[in-house]
Amino acid sequence: MDIRVGDTITLKKLHPCGARKWKVLRSGADFRIRCLGCGHLLMLPRRTLEKSIVQIEHENGEADHG
């Protein structure tokens, strides 16, 4: 999966704040993502994150369905 820093990802589950979209801040073996609803920061292993992605919106405007 092609996930880059700056991408906006949509996850399957809602965050407790009600948001579903997250901004990628760090990529690699682990990902650091920020909730676009409340600003909460989360660190997840690549495998866990890739399983829960519904859609990836790249910075340049392209959309990719996970």
How confident is the model over 2-35, as pLDDT tens digits? 899 999 999 999 999 999 999 999 999 999 999 9
Distance CA 17, CA 34 (A): 12
Q: Which residues pair with 41 in a beta bridge?
A: 34
Sign of the CA dihedral running 45, 46, 47, 50: positive
Distance CA 16, CA 57 (A): 22
CA atoms within 13 A on the CB side of 19: 14
Q: Give the pairing type, strands 21-26 and 30-35.
A: antiparallel
pTM value is 0.88
